[in-house]
Amino acid sequence: MEADFRVAHPEKAHAPDHKEPGSESAREMVVEATNLEKRFGTLVAVDGISFRVYEGEAFGFLGPNGAGKTSTMRMIQCVSPRTSGELRVFGMDTQEHPREIKQTMGVVPQENNLDPDFPVREGLIQFARYFDIPHADAVKRADELLSLMALEEKKNTTVEKLSGGMKRRLILARALMNRPRLLILDEPTTGLDPQARHLIWEGLRDLVSQGNTILLTTHYMEEAAHLCDRIVIMDHGKILVEGKPQDLVKRYAGDYIVEADSTQEVQECLKRHDIIFDAYEGRVQIFTQDPKEVTRLLLDECSMGGEVAARPASLEDVFLRLTGRTLRE
Amino acid sequence: MLGLPISYRVWKVWRRNMVTFMRTWKVNFIPPFLEPVLYLLALGLGVGSFISDIQGVSYPRYIAPALISIAVMNAAFFECTYASYVRMYYAKTFDAMIATPLSIEEVIAGELLWGATRGLIYAVLMFPVLLAFGVIDLPSSFLIFPFVILAGLLFAGLGMCFTAISPGIDALNYPSFLLITPMFLFSGTFFPLNLLPPFIQIIALALLPLAHVVIVFRSFTLDMISLSILPSLVWLASATLILFIVSIRLMKRRLIV
């Protein structure tokens, strides 16, 4: 998987600077949001966010439930009007040119909305009609995508008889029928088993390597780290941070994390040595560049009785650090 | 169109419904054949044997246009209530469609045209049955078809308004038995309106679209066309236009948030 990923994105490994807004001039801007706001009555779902997505980029929105990710996606999809701010897709205003934008966009919604009245293959062909795709092209494209998504054997099956993973793959196939320049995926792999998830990831990586632009929301940190060139973490309708996943990990969680059982003794010992730590659920977490030293310190000088573990920091650590550990909803 | 972003794409929505309808055409085609036979036997021959005539018309010939009117009403109204509600709420078909170049206005207009088409299909299928019973006149009865589409569009729009405001699918039972059932009985369908107290007559003519549909259809099937149907035509055309626009607006308000 790792090897494939690198082969698929040669330019991304070498030219990280080109992902940053501002330094971008050659590549086309696919989505441009400025002070974008969405209110439902008194609830502020999206609170004046600004971001830019460039062509050929895999861009991820992370955040707890209710952070405003889906509301943002729906505005980009031109199906939900914004309250204020600016939003352009392919340089066009989402409220003035919804048809033109939707013509070149593919959408994988959070909730399955496959047409239950059509068998698999026919459903794809029917969907193509909404895009004015000629019938012969639609048939060819449907067969291509069914084979790509390993759904050939199910082509005459009704949608309700498909497993969750198959439905998700079919919905991805449907989103690709019109050869979209921008693919929007709202939690594409929620509820899938690891096999199905990896199959979808592979498909998405191929798309990005072919120069497609992908916008996705997820709360799987692994998914974001795997797929996204750049992410934003949202909470309470605002963007907290933006950057490349590995940079964010470095910046907000450091290189390593050492975890140990939290006791009064350990906490006092750490304070004595001026080591910054987070304490929760009976554990202490220390963000550090030098896990060996911290581990030695804990074992030798803090007379640790319990278990000490060191591991590389992950995006999940960044996420929890920034959005807190309180349960949402 | 009508200040709404509606293009040829409405026919894509219409076609989607037509395709799924034709997939089960056998079961869909039975009721229009069966219904007039049952009604004509039970009401025409059964009840009708106690009735010499109504205003000089035999009872089976009197109720024949009402049977078409009722079938069109039911086909269009129930298509755009329960069936549309299932597509909107449970299958999320409309959500999937508006993620494509289709606008919400086109999706709903396509649903309304399909509801009207379903009424037309029913009327077309009933026609030879009524003809075989000798209860409708030719060629004047052919004139009903354009007005079947108009009536179908009206009842589709009426149904879609309820779909747009119903909190759940069960709430659609209210318009079914509080509006459709009384309308079915008190629109000059099985007995003349003028047998009712005057104020009920006024209410029926002011509020019940079926009453006007029956007036128009009856004048065609009995070959008694006169200018007296003109007010009914104006009433039907105005109501159809209003319901078309209002139902689309209400659905947009419900779905676009």
**Where residue A15 sits, what CATH number does that domain have?**
3.40.50.300
Residue A190 lies in a domain: yes
Q: What is the DSSP letter of A28?
A: P
Domain boundary among A205, A223, A244: A244
Number of domains in chain A: 2
Q: Which two tokens stand for residue A224?
A: 């974001």
Please, are residues A262 and A279 in contact by the beta-carbon 8 Å criterion? Answer: yes
Task: Based on the fold, state whether residues A150 and A276 are members of the same structural domain.
Answer: no
Give the domain extent around A92: 2-244
Task: Based on the fold, state whether residues A204 and A306 are members of the same structural domain.
Answer: no
The count of other CB atoms within 10 Å of the CB of residue B22 is: 11
What's the residue count for chain B?
257
Q: Which two tokens stand for residue B172?
A: 């659609």
Separation of alpha carbons B100 and A216, rounded Å: 18
A238 closest CA partner among A40, A80, A18, A72: A72
Q: Which two tokens stand for residue A102?
A: 């939707």
Q: At CB < 8 Å, which residues of chain B contact A?
A: 9, 12, 15-16, 19-20, 23, 91-93, 95-103, 256-257
Give percent above pLDDT 70 in chain A.
90
- pLDDT at residue A3 is higher than 60: no
Q: At A44, which helix (H) or strand (E)?
A: strand A43-54
Residue A159 lies in a domain: yes
Task: Based on the fold, state whether residues A271 and A147 are members of the same structural domain.
Answer: no
Q: Which two tokens stand for residue B156?
A: 């589709």
Rounded to a whole number of angstroms, the distance between the first and last alpha carbons of chain A is: 35
The count of other CB atoms within 10 Å of the CB of residue A282 is: 9
- pLDDT at residue B14 is higher than 50: yes
Please, are residues A184 and A77 in contact by the beta-carbon 8 Å criterion? Answer: yes
Residue A8's pLDDT is what? Answer: 31
Average pLDDT score over residue span B106-132: 96
Is the backbone peptide bond immediately before B139 cis, with ω within 30 degrees of 0?
Answer: yes
Separation of alpha carbons B115 and B152, rounded Å: 7
Q: Which two tokens stand for residue B62?
A: 């009197």
Q: Do B96 and A113 touch (CB under 8 A)?
A: yes
Distance from the Cα of A97 to chain B's closest Cα (Å) equals 10
Q: Which two tokens stand for residue B236?
A: 């039907």
Task: Based on the fold, state whether residues A185 and A88 are members of the same structural domain.
Answer: yes
Residue A1's pLDDT is what? Answer: 32
Task: Based on the fold, state whether residues A133 and A176 are members of the same structural domain.
Answer: yes
Average pLDDT score over residue span A98-126: 96
- pLDDT at residue A328 is higher than 70: no
Distance from the Cα of A198 to chain B's closest Cα (Å) equals 25
Q: Which two tokens stand for residue A43?
A: 């609830």
Residue A12 lies in a domain: yes
Residue A145 lies in a domain: yes
Residue A240's pLDDT is what? Answer: 94
Q: Which two tokens stand for residue A112?
A: 């399955």
Q: Which two tokens stand for residue B78?
A: 């129930």
Separation of alpha carbons A50 and A68, rounded Å: 13
Task: Based on the fold, state whether residues A202 and A283 are members of the same structural domain.
Answer: no
Residue A229 lies in a domain: yes
Q: Mind listing the pLDDT tens digit for each residue in A194-249?
A: 888 888 898 899 999 998 999 999 888 888 988 999 999 999 999 999 999 999 98
Strands laid side by side in the A256-261 sheet: A278-280, A283-288, A256-261, A308-312
Average pLDDT score over residue span A281-309: 82
Residue A268 lies in a domain: yes
The domain limits of chain B are: 10-44+56-255
Domain boundary among A187, A220, A244: A244
Rg of chain B over Cα atoms, rounded to whole angstroms, equals 18
Q: Mind listing the pLDDT tens digit for each residue in B134-176?
A: 999 999 999 999 999 999 999 999 999 999 999 999 999 999 9
- For all residues of chain A together, what is the average pLDDT? 87
Provide the pLDDT confidence category of residue A9 given band limits of 50, 70 and 90. Answer: very low
**Selected residue of B17, B18, B100 to mutate for chain A interface (largest A Cβ count, 10 A):** B100
Whichever domain contains A303, its CATH number is 3.30.70.260
Separation of alpha carbons B81 and B175, rounded Å: 10
Task: Based on the fold, state whether residues A189 and A281 are members of the same structural domain.
Answer: no
A172 closest CA partner among A209, A204, A141: A204
Angle between helices A315-323 and A245-253 (to 10 degrees): 60
Global ipTM: 0.92
Q: Do A77 and B96 touch (CB under 8 A)?
A: no
Q: Which residues contact B251 (CB under 8 A, 6 or more apart)?
A: B88, B104, B108, B160, B163, B164
